[in-house]
């Protein structure tokens, strides 16, 4: 299976994305405690695994899994001084990890890529101990909440979403996880909606670079939905102009769903 966001710039983009948010209060609010055995499913370059490892301390353990060798190597380097962190190449839908071996299973920005994310959720339940927590942080319409939005950009945004969806990517997975958690038998399912970004006016260079990298990486996958690569690139340019417009509001939320394994 290929990861549609793959590009040489992807690790850098993920790090900037992770650094932008202080995730610690959310991790604690969803039950992460010192000493916990944690799974970071789809850990990417390990930015959040590092935070998780600091929070659980040396008496805890963080296992980061990902299917990208390059990002695992980066995560291993990043956490070299944290003996409680280890990284393994695994598919999050079939980890091969023992039953009930984690107290807290975390996954962020990964289920959006999987058309069969329910298989990943079932696997999260299997590896989490009874009474342990499964917590998934996901996008919900990222990039779609902008105002004012010219008509051609509105149409383009729909094509963009369709192009992603043709590759199994779900821009609106965040809102679907509450039902998904209940279906796999998790109990006490709670949902937190937190800001992912709010840009009122001209976006800064970091934000623009994030979108440029994303658009570049997605060109092969999403251009067909626009009929041609030229049309896709015109849409990207218009979107970037909208991001730099001082009169436009852009915002996005993360939907964080938590549940307890019965
Ligand atoms: C957008 S990154 C998120 C990284 C990290 N969770 C974060 O919040 O910064 C998505 C990661 O999921 C990984 N990934 C995608 N599908 C996967 C799968 N089926 N099994 C394991 N890793 C997967 C990719 O290799 C990539 O590193």
In this predicted model, what pLDDT tens digit does every residue of 14-58 receive, in sequence order? 555 554 468 999 999 999 999 999 999 999 999 999 999 999 999
Mean pLDDT of 109-136: 98
Hunting for tokens 């570049």 — which residue is that?
A: 216
Per-residue confidence band for 8, with pLDDT thresholds at 50, 70 and 90: low
Per-residue confidence band for 7, with pLDDT thresholds at 50, 70 and 90: low
At 80-108, the pLDDT tens digits run 999 999 999 999 999 999 999 999 999 99
Question: Is 106 part of a structural domain of the chain?
Answer: yes
pLDDT of residue 19: 47
pLDDT of residue 3: 73
pLDDT of residue 20: 46
Task: Output the residue whose Cα is nearest ligand 1's atom 25.
Answer: 68
DSSP secondary structure string for all residues of 92-116: TTB--PPTT-EEEEEEES-GGG-TT
Does 13 have pLDDT greater than 90?
Answer: no
Ligand 1 close to Cβ of residue 14 (< 6 A): yes
The residue whose CB lies within 8 Å of the most ligand 1 atoms, and thus the one to mutate among 18, 40, 66, is: 66
Question: Is 1 part of a structural domain of the chain?
Answer: no
Contacts of 257 (CB under 8 A, 6+ apart): 135, 136, 138, 174, 177, 178, 180, 181, 189, 190, 191
Question: Is 5 part of a structural domain of the chain?
Answer: no
Domain that holds residue 233: 10-260
Per-residue confidence band for 152, with pLDDT thresholds at 50, 70 and 90: confident
pLDDT of residue 27: 97
The secondary structure of residue 46, as a DSSP letter, is S
Ligand 1 close to Cβ of residue 23 (< 6 A): no
Ligand 1 centroid, distance to 248 Cα (angstroms):
31
Per-residue confidence band for 259, with pLDDT thresholds at 50, 70 and 90: very high
Mean pLDDT in the chain?
Answer: 94
Mean pLDDT of 191-213: 96
CA distance 74 to 56: 21
- Rounded (10°) angle between helices 229-244 and 151-165: 120
Ligand 1 close to Cβ of residue 113 (< 6 A): yes
Question: Is 3 part of a structural domain of the chain?
Answer: no
Please, where are the H alpha helices in the chain? 10-20, 24-29, 47-56, 69-78, 117-127, 151-165, 177-183, 205-226, 229-244
Hunting for tokens 């990208």 — which residue is that?
A: 68
The count of domains in the chain is: 1
Angle (CA) 171 187 253, round 5°: 25
Question: Is 28 part of a structural domain of the chain?
Answer: yes
Atom of ligand 1 nearest to the CA of 40: 6
Q: Would the CA dihedral through 202, 203, 209, 211 be positive or negative?
A: negative
CATH code of 116's domain = 3.40.50.150
Question: Is 74 part of a structural domain of the chain?
Answer: yes
At 156-195, the pLDDT tens digits run 999 999 999 999 999 999 999 999 999 999 999 999 999 9
The residue whose CB lies within 8 Å of the most ligand 1 atoms, and thus the one to mutate among 65, 67, 123, is: 67
The residue whose CB lies within 8 Å of the most ligand 1 atoms, and thus the one to mutate among 15, 22, 44, 170, is: 44
Mean pLDDT of 139-150: 95
CA distance 210 to 218: 12
Ligand 1 centroid, distance to 15 Cα (angstroms):
12
């Amino acid at each position: 299976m290929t990861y549609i966001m793959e590009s040489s710039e992807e690790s850098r983009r993920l790090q900037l994305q992770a650094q932008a948010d202080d995730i610690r209060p959310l991790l604690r609010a969803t039950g992460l405690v010192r000493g916990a055995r944690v799974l970071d499913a789809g850990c990417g370059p390990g930015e959040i695994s590092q935070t998780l490892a600091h929070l659980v301390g040396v008496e805890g353990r963080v296992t980061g899994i990902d299917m990208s060798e390059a990002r695992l190597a980066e995560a291993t380097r990043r956490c070299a001084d944290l003996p409680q962190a280890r990284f393994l190449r695994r598919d999050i839908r079939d980890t091969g990890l023992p039953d009930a071996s984690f107290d807290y299973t975390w996954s962020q920005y990964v289920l959006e890529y999987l058309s069969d994310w329910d298989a990943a959720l079932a696997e999260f339940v299997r590896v989490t101990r009874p009474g342990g927590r499964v917590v998934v942080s996901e996008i919900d319409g990222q990039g779609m909440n902008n105002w004012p939005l010219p008509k051609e950009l509105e149409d383009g945004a729909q094509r963009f979403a369709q192009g992603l969806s043709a590759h199994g990517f779900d821009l609106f997975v965040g809102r679907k996880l509450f039902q998904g958690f209940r279906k796999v038998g998790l109990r006490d399912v709670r949902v937190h909606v937190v800001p992912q970004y709010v840009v009122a006016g001209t976006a800064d260079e970091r934000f623009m670079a994030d979108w440029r990298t994303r658009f570049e990486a997605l060109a092969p996958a999403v251009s067909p939905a626009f009929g041609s690569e030229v049309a896709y690139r015109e849409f990207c340019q218009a979107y970037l102009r909208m991001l730099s417009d001082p009169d436009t509001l852009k915002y996005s939320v993360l939907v964080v769903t938590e549940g307890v394994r019965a």
